[in-house]
Structure 1
Amino acid sequence: MLERRLTVPKLLIGLVLTLVTLTMFVPIMNLLARALSHPAKVYLLHGYEVWPRGFSFINFQVVLSNPIVGRALLNSVFITVVGTCLSIFFTTIAAYVLTRKTLAFKTPIMIFLIIIMIFEPGIVQEYMVIKDLHLLDSLWAMVLYRMINVYYLIIMMRFLEEIPDSLIEAAKIDGAGHMTLFMRIVMPLSRIPLLTIGMFYAIAKWNEFFKSSIFLSSRENTVLQVLLRQFVVERDTTALVGAADLLKNNNIAQLDFSSLKAATIIIAMVPILMLYPIILKYYTKGVMDGGVKE
C-alpha cells in the first residue's frame, strides 16, 4: 500500500483549492443567511456573514406565493429537462454518424460545422427563423433553440472514436443494424460523456436569459431567469403579490428587499446545483466499463 506523504507542493495546491472554494461557497452561504433571516433582524448581518439572524422562511414564502414564480419555475424545468434530453439524443446520434468510416463527404461536413460554430448567426436572423416557424412565445422555441452545440458534438465524437472497432464488428456479425448499434452499444458505453455534455446542456438551458426574454413575451410563458432579472435588477415588485396576508399572519411589519432578492436567487440556483452530486459520482467509472478489451 502506497504511503501518502504531505509535501509542500500538495500543501500549496490544497491551500489554493480551498481558497478558490471559499470564494464561491461563502457568497452562496451569505445569500442563504440573508434569505433565512427574519426581516426585522436582517440589518444585523454585516459583510459576508453566513449565519442567519432570526430564523424565518417568510422570504421564500413571499416569493413562492406568487403564481407567476411557480409558473416560471415549471417552465424553466420543462425547457431544461426536455431540451437537454433532445439535445443529448441528437448530439449523440449526429456524433455516431460522423464517426462512421464509411461516411461520404465527412471532411466537407466537418468544415461546414466548424464554420457554423465560429460564425454564429445574429439575433435578427434567429428571431426571423423562430417567427417563420410560428414558435414565438412558445416554450418549444427555447427547447429547440440550439439543440446541437457543435463544440459538444466534437467532444462526443472524440469519445465515440475510442469505442473499439472489434465491438462494433462483433455486433454487425450478429446482425445488428445502425439503430441497434447506437441504442445497445454506443449509448451504454457513452454514459460518462453523455452525463458530461448533458450537464453542459442543462446548465446552458437553465441559465438562458437573453434569448428567453426575446422569444417569450407573455407572463404565462416566462422563465425563472427572466423573472429573476426583473425582480433583482429592475426591482420589479410583482413577486410581492399576496405578501400582505403573509406578513399579517407572521406578525411582520415590513419585508427587506435584499432578503427577498437573496431568496429569489437561491430558488433559481438550487435545482441546477442538485445535478452535480448526482452526476459526479459516475465520473469515477471508466467509459468502457463492462466492454471488451483490445
Structure 2
Amino acid sequence: MTGKKITVSKTFLALLLSLMTLSMFVPIVNLFAKSLSHPNQVHLLRGYEVLPRGFSLINFEVVLHNPIIVRAVMNSLFITVTGTLLSLLFTTMSAYVLTRKKLVGKTPLMVFLIVIMIFEPGIVPEYMVIKSLGLLDNLWAMVLYRTINVFYLIIMMRFIEEIPDSLLEAAKIDGAGHVKLFTRIVLPLSRIPLLTIGMFYAVARWNEFFKSSIFLSSRDHTVLQVLLRQFIVERDTTAMIDAAELLKNSGIAQLDFGSLKAATIVIAMIPILMLYPIILKYYTKGVMDGGVKE
C-alpha cells in the first residue's frame, strides 16, 4: 500500500484554504465572544480574541425580552419556512413540466424565462404589483415574492433530465400518471438538488432586508434583518430601549453597545448556521446512497 504523495502545490493549497477558513471563522467566534462577555469586562477584548472576558447573558436578555425583536424573528421564520417550501414546490413542478419532451411551446417558454432572468423588473413595477394585489405591509408579500428563481429552475431541470427515461416509461406502463410520476419517482430521486436549492432559497429569504423594508412598513410586520440593519448600520437603538430600561431597574451593569450589537448579529446568524450541518448530513447520505442505473 503506497501512501499519498504530499506535493508543494497540495501543501500550498491546504494552507491557502486554511487561511480562508480562519478569515471567516475567527470573526464569527469573535462575535460570540463579545456577546457573551460581561459588560464590565468587554472593553478588555482586543482585536479578534475568541474567548469571552467574563460571562454574561445580559445582551441576549435585552434582545430576546423585547417583544418587537421576538415578533421580527417569528416573522422572518414564517417568511423563510413558508416561502422556501412554496419555492421548492413550484420550482420542482415547473422543472418537471418543462422537461417533458412533448410539451408544446417549450422553446418560447424557456426563452421567455431566460429573458426574465436577465432583464429583471425594477423596484417601481414590483411595488405597483404588490400594491395592486393588496399585499403591502403583509407578510405574504415576501412569501410570494420571487417564488421561482429561474436560475434554480434551470438547475432543477438538469437534474430531472438525468432520471432515466426507462424508469418513467416503466411507471407509465404500470398506469402511473403525471401526478404519480412526480410524487413517487421525480421527488424521491431529486432529494439532493431539493436540499441544495432549498438551502439557497432559505438563505436568500432569511437575509432579505431591502425589499422587506419597502413592502413591510409597520413594526408588527417587520423582519429581523430590517431591525438588524437599523440597529447595526443606522445605530437606531429605539427598538432596544424598553428592555434595557427594565434591566437597568434590576441593578444590572450598564450595557456596552458593541457587545449588544454582537448579540443581535449572533441571533440573526444562528438559524442559518444550524441549517448547514442538517443539510450536509442528508446531502452526504444521499450521495452515499448511489444513483439510479439503467
Bin of the TM-score, shorter chain as denominator length: over 0.9
Change (3 A) 1:67 1:29: same
Q: Which residue of 1 aligns with 2:277?
A: 277
Question: Does 2:176 align with 1:180?
Answer: no
Alignment of 1:225-264 (within 5 A): 225-237=225-237, 238-249=239-250, 251-264=251-264
Question: Does 2:159 align with 1:192?
Answer: no
Instruction: Structure 2: state its 5+ residue gaps.
Output: none
CA distance in 1, matches of 2:288, 2:56: 49
For 1:265, give the aligned amino acid: I
Q: Secondary structure at the match of 2:219?
A: coil
Query: Is contact 1:189-1:287 (8 Å) kept?
Result: no
For 2:190, give the aligned amino acid: S
CA distance in 2, matches of 1:116, 1:287: 33
Query: Is contact 1:31-1:262 (8 Å) kept?
Result: yes
| Alpha-carbon distance, 1:3 to partner | 3.2
For 2:199, give the aligned amino acid: M
| Alpha-carbon distance, 1:240 to partner | 3.0
For 1:279, give the aligned amino acid: I
CA distance in 2, matches of 1:18, 1:81: 33
Runs of 4+ in 1 over 6 A off after TM superposition: none
Count, aligned residues: 293
For 2:240, give the aligned amino acid: A
Q: Which residue of 2 aligns with 1:129?
A: 129
Q: Secondary structure at the match of 2:74?
A: helix
| Alpha-carbon distance, 1:285 to partner | 4.4
Query: Is contact 2:191-2:286 (8 Å) kept?
Result: no
For 1:247, give the aligned amino acid: K
CA distance in 1, matches of 2:110, 2:224: 36
CA distance in 2, matches of 1:103, 1:228: 46
Structure 1 window deviating more from structure 2 (240-249 vs 140-149): it is 240-249
Query: Is contact 2:163-2:292 (8 Å) kept?
Result: no
| Alpha-carbon distance, 1:11 to partner | 1.5
Structure 1 window deviating more from structure 2 (146-155 vs 7-16): it is 7-16
Structure 1 window deviating more from structure 2 (227-236 vs 5-14): it is 5-14
| Alpha-carbon distance, 1:233 to partner | 1.2
Q: TM-score, normalised by structure 2?
A: 0.96
Q: What is the alpha-carbon root mean square deviation over aligned residues? A: 1.5
| Alpha-carbon distance, 1:9 to partner | 2.2
Q: Which residue of 2 aligns with 1:83?
A: 83
Alignment of 1:47-126 (within 5 A): 47-126=47-126
Structure 1 window deviating more from structure 2 (79-88 vs 9-18): it is 9-18
Change (3 A) 1:7 1:291: closer
**What whole-Å deviation, never above 9, does each CA across 1:118-140 have from its counterpart, x for those lacking one?**
00000000000001111000000
| Alpha-carbon distance, 1:273 to partner | 1.1
CA distance in 2, matches of 1:206, 1:212: 11
CA distance in 1, matches of 2:275, 2:51: 25
Q: Secondary structure at the match of 1:220?
A: helix
CA distance in 1, matches of 2:101, 2:290: 24
Structure 1 window deviating more from structure 2 (227-236 vs 170-179): it is 227-236
Q: Secondary structure at the match of 1:46?
A: coil
Change (3 A) 1:39 1:287: closer
Instruction: Structure 1: state its 5+ residue gaps.
Output: none
**What whole-Å deviation, never above 9, does each CA across 1:142-196 have from its counterpart, x for those lacking one?**
0000000000000000111100001100100000000110001000000000001
Q: Which residue of 1 aligns with 2:139?
A: 139
